[in-house]
Amino acid sequence: MIDSDSVRRARVGAAIAASYREQPQSPEDDDLAMASAIAMTEAEPW
């Protein structure tokens, strides 16, 4: 039996994937994501 959480997660994932197909990320979006990832990594108390 498939539980309702699995179904919900699959639907949410499909909706997210569809939105990226309809409006792909721009190079500016990629730059912002990379800058955010670097900032978070540098903030870690390694």
What's the whole-number average pLDDT of the chain?
93
Please state, in angstroms and rounded to a whole number, the distance separating the CA atoms of residues 13 and 18. 9
Please state, in angstroms and rounded to a whole number, the distance separating the CA atoms of residues 43 and 46. 9
The arithmetic mean of pLDDT across residues 19-29, rounded, is 93
16 pLDDT higher than 90? yes
Q: Could you list the residue range(s) of the whole structural domain that residue 8 is in?
A: 4-43
1 pLDDT higher than 80? no
Q: How many domains does the chain have?
A: 1
The arithmetic mean of pLDDT across residues 16-43, rounded, is 95
pTM to 2 decimals? Answer: 0.56
